[in-house]
């Protein structure tokens, strides 16, 4: 059977009633934290490239690695959920700042 010969049911993508409520809540939390992380990483890159307020380098690398380990060591329970989200936000921001030198290099090659 060829993978490309199958028909895809587009309507099945929008039927969420088969997923339990707890799974829907979990997926909402996962994708909202992913979106928040991407926005903060873009903001960190913007801060580096445009304002030069934080320079990407060893300090941002050490900060992001430290926050990553702190996030890994913080237990997951309802009491620490907001703390873990704040640590993830800091990690995403510093990761974006760390991408700043790469963006500077790309801008120097082709500004468009």
**Nearest CA-CA partner of 80 in 72, 24, 31:** 72
Distance CA 59, CA 56 (A): 7
Domain definitions of the chain by residue range: 20-109
Q: Full-prediction pTM beyond 0.95?
A: no
Give the confidence band of 92 by pLDDT, cuts at 50, 70, 90.
very high
Residues 6+ apart with CB under 8 A from 98: 44, 56, 57, 60, 61, 64
57 neighbors 110 (Cβ within 8 angstroms): no
Using a 10 angstrom Cβ sphere, with 0-12 exposed, 13-18 middle and 19 or more buried, the burial of residue 94 is buried
41 neighbors 94 (Cβ within 8 angstroms): no
Taking 70 as the threshold, does the pLDDT of residue 1 lie above it?
Answer: no
In the DSSP assignment, the letter for residue 50 is: I
Q: What is the pLDDT of residues 30-63, one digit of tens each?
A: 999 999 999 999 999 999 988 887 777 788 889 9
CA-based end-to-end distance of the chain: 45
How does the average pLDDT of the chain come out, rounded? 88
Taking 90 as the threshold, does the pLDDT of residue 112 lie above it?
Answer: no
């Amino acid at each position: 059977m060829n993978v490309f010969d199958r028909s895809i049911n587009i309507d099945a993508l929008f039927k969420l009633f088969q997923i339990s409520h707890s799974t829907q809540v979990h997926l909402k939390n996962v994708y909202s934290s992913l979106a928040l992380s991407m926005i903060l990483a873009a903001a960190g890159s913007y801060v580096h490239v445009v304002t030069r307020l934080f320079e990407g380098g060893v300090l941002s690398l050490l900060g992001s690695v430290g926050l990553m380990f702190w996030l890994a060591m913080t237990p997951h329970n309802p009491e620490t959920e907001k703390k873990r989200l704040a640590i993830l936000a800091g990690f995403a921001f510093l990761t974006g700042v760390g991408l700043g030198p790469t963006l500077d290099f790309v801008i120097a090659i082709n500004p468009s």
